[in-house]
Copies of this chain bind each other. A is one copy, B any other.
């Protein structure tokens, strides 16, 4: 159970407690009393993880080896899982004038079904032997995937990130020349196709900004990630509301299971998610569950809101406590800290709590940053979590004899 951005620092408004410490959390504390706690440097001490690199580490991959940027994981989040060597870009549908100056970077926050129709009109074309796939994402967002020989992610953004003329994609090294050429040709084509598109003709008549160009940014090459099942000999599922987390799990070969009511927002149905996770445990060896709500309130700097989210997380823990199979191994962890005062991820270690039959209790009675730092698991790295859980589950291989 990954509680996104859960870890925090002492908050003045909470009488110098952390939100976790300030919350009523009988179930998490029960697990602490009957399990063992520790703190985890998800990437390394003082290193601020992204949610993407953090989840890679929690799944046992070394993000320094396999993380190639957010693009591929965003693409996978909306269902486009590329092959090794494919290059993915995050894109905006935007409005430009005839000089290609951006007049609305979000094309009036255009959304489905318009974006789906526009994406379809760009998808499937080939430029210089490179196959193009475009798929709409949330609101005005989309993903562009290039597939072909000798592609590189070392190209600069076309999106000018402001209301100026669009940029040319510039190759950042010699190997990226071809990719930059393809990207620039594609952007030109997107303007030609979209500017005349019936959807935009209709929008124009309705007085809405047209989405007459696609602006790629954040290129990333699909990494060579050994599928989870091949790596560990275990099947795995993911229950998450947030697209990026789904994408990471998909790229690692986990089955992404939809839970009704899991939105990735504050309105998410946490208990529904927990029930789906419990169900998935019947057919999968590992289930990763991510809850984003704790990160959302943290980015907002909302201390009281975070306390309330923790109390909802504790209800999830209560359901797990009630329904967990006897031989299950469960870990409660955060992917990173998002301190209320920082309103962004920090490099603080996150509290980890492992519970299973036979675990040697460490005397902790609560689950929080302070108690975890004195727990029996000591201080470990994010990539250590998976080997420990696998060993607790009796599935580890012996090295030597």
Q: Please give the residue numbers on chain A whose beta carbons come within 8 Å of chain B beta carbons, in ascending order.
A: 9-11, 18, 36, 39, 43-54, 63, 67, 70, 244, 339, 341-342, 344-348, 358-363, 369-370, 373-381, 384, 386-392, 394, 396-401
Distance of A353 from chain B, by nearest CB (Å): 14
User: In whole angstroms, what is the CA distance A53 to B399 when docked?
Assistant: 7
User: In whole angstroms, what is the CA distance A377 to B45 when docked?
Assistant: 10
Q: Is the CB of B400 within 8 A of A49?
A: yes
Q: Is the CB of A378 within 8 A of B379?
A: yes
Across-interface contacts of A345 in B (CB, < 8 A) = 398
Interface SS of chain A: loop
Distance of A394 from chain B, by nearest CB (Å): 7
Across-interface contacts of A376 in B (CB, < 8 A) = 39, 370, 373-374
Q: Is the CB of B363 within 8 A of A45?
A: no
Q: Is the CB of A396 within 8 A of B46?
A: yes
User: In whole angstroms, what is the CA distance A360 to B54 when docked?
Assistant: 22
Distance of A69 from chain B, by nearest CB (Å): 9
By Cβ-Cβ distance, the 4 closest A-B pairs, closest first, are: A50-B400, A46-B387, A378-B379, A53-B400
Across-interface contacts of A46 in B (CB, < 8 A) = 384, 386-392, 396
Q: Is the CB of B10 within 8 A of A398?
A: no
User: In whole angstroms, what is the CA distance A392 to B386 when docked?
Assistant: 28
Q: Can you sample 27 A-B contacts with CB below 8 Å?
A: A9-B359, A10-B361, A18-B360, A39-B376, A45-B387, A46-B384, A46-B386, A46-B387, A46-B391, A47-B387, A47-B391, A47-B399, A48-B396, A49-B399, A50-B398, A63-B400, A346-B391, A347-B390, A347-B391, A360-B373, A362-B374, A370-B376, A373-B375, A373-B376, A374-B376, A379-B379, A379-B380
Counting every copy of the chain, the complex holds: 2
Q: Is the CB of A347 within 8 A of B380?
A: no
The residue of chain B having its C-beta at the shortest distance from the C-beta of A347 within the complex is B391
User: In whole angstroms, what is the CA distance A47 to B400 when docked?
Assistant: 11
The residue of chain B having its C-beta at the shortest distance from the C-beta of A364 within the complex is B374
Across-interface contacts of A341 in B (CB, < 8 A) = 358
Across-interface contacts of A51 in B (CB, < 8 A) = 400-401
Across-interface contacts of A392 in B (CB, < 8 A) = 46
| A-B contact sample (14 more), CB < 8 A, given A47-B387, A67-B399 | A44-B387, A45-B387, A46-B396, A48-B396, A53-B400, A63-B400, A244-B401, A360-B369, A363-B370, A370-B376, A373-B376, A374-B374, A374-B376, A379-B380
Q: Is the CB of A11 within 8 A of B358?
A: yes
User: In whole angstroms, what is the CA distance A400 to B387 when docked?
Assistant: 23
User: In whole angstroms, what is the CA distance A348 to B381 when docked?
Assistant: 15
Q: Is the CB of B48 within 8 A of A397?
A: yes
